Structure 1
Amino acid sequence: MIHWQKIPFTELTTSQLYELLRLRVDVFVVEQTCPYPELDGKDCQDGVYHLIGTKDNEIIACARLLPAGTSYINVSIGRVATKGTARGDGLGHKLLSQALACCEELWPGETIDIGAQEHLTHFYQKHGFQVISDMYLEDDIPHVDMRLEK
């Protein structure tokens, strides 16, 4: 069973922070062979929350929940990642559903924008997001902006 926690940066333990950053680097830098500035200064901004999913005391899923005006004009979700060894059983959909529920709790009725890797558009569309931009390269990976209107 997965235990979900929505935690502001200042309340993360050092162990949680380490595991969270390790998971994100493992997925976005190592797996995708994409060196980029993972630590972008947004993690610790006011109003930002970190959603972490743990199983057997190990972080296996995470997402960053950002208030309007931080990454986009609207509320946004970013750094959505699942541990490679935990994939294949719908964990990504569970994570995104939980992230959407947390956003609704934090910012009721607010529209949500994301920058999605282009190959994941169908995944996000299953949760109601629609493509709102042309493809663009971010760190040499094709992306599109998507929006979930409320």
Structure 2
Amino acid sequence: MNLTHQIKLFGQLSVNELYDLLRMRSEVFVVEQNCVFLDQDNKDQQCYHLLLYADGKLAAYSRLVPAGISYPEVSIGRVVTSPASRGTGLGRKIMELAIQSCHELFGPVPIRIGAQTYALAFYQSLGFVSEGEVYDEDGIEHIEMVLEAKLM
């Protein structure tokens, strides 16, 4: 499997790239998870978008959110792997790239996420630590997690 990735600001995304990432997000977050919510939350325009391709096809995606938009800290959100790419390690790869990219873009800062609780162990394996109480977001249990600042 040949992996490549790109990081782009919203305005740098081509129409096809934007369509592909929004389609993947809808396929998983709305259809697969049976969760009716407005995915387009007016944050995309202020974020970086990490697109991971396997053999030229979009296989995973995440949104890199500057501090002050979702949380006081930098954040990683809308992490998604295409159903066709599950079980291949691309979920871990997109998160490793997202963490690395956040540190390259924003410096050695803490990163906060709102994790679905079913993926708690996965995020813990990447160094994230739970903070606060479990909360409901669009009918799915979540918990905030923080990865402490990385010394460069």
What residue ranges of structure 2 are gaps of 5+ in the alignment? none
Identity value in percent = 45
Let me know the Cα RMSD of the aligned residues.
Answer: 0.7
Shift of 1:49: 0.2
| TM-score in terms of structure 1 length | 0.97
| Aligned residue number for residue 4 of structure 1 | 5
Letter in 1 for 2:17: Q
| Aligned residue number for residue 27 of structure 2 | 26
Shift of 1:55: 2.1
SS in 1 for 2:44: coil
Query: Which whole-Å deviations, capped at 9, do the CAs of 1:24-72 have from their partners, x for residues lacking one?
Result: 0001001100010100000002xx1000011233211000001100100
| Aligned residue number for residue 38 of structure 2 | 37
SS in 2 for 1:134: strand
SS in 2 for 1:77: strand
Displacement over 6 Å in runs of 4+: none
Query: Which whole-Å deviations, capped at 9, do the CAs of 1:95-135 have from their partners, x for residues lacking one?
Result: 10000010010011110000000111100001100000110
Query: Which whole-Å deviations, capped at 9, do the CAs of 1:61-102 have from their partners, x for residues lacking one?
Result: 000001100100000000000000111021100110000010
SS in 1 for 2:70: coil
| Aligned residue number for residue 58 of structure 2 | 59
Letter in 1 for 2:141: P
Output the CA distance in 2 between the equivalents of 1:36 and 1:133.
Answer: 24
Output the CA distance in 2 between the equivalents of 1:121 and 1:55.
Answer: 26
Letter in 2 for 1:11: Q
What residue ranges of structure 1 are gaps of 5+ in the alignment? none
Aligned residues: 148
SS in 1 for 2:45: coil
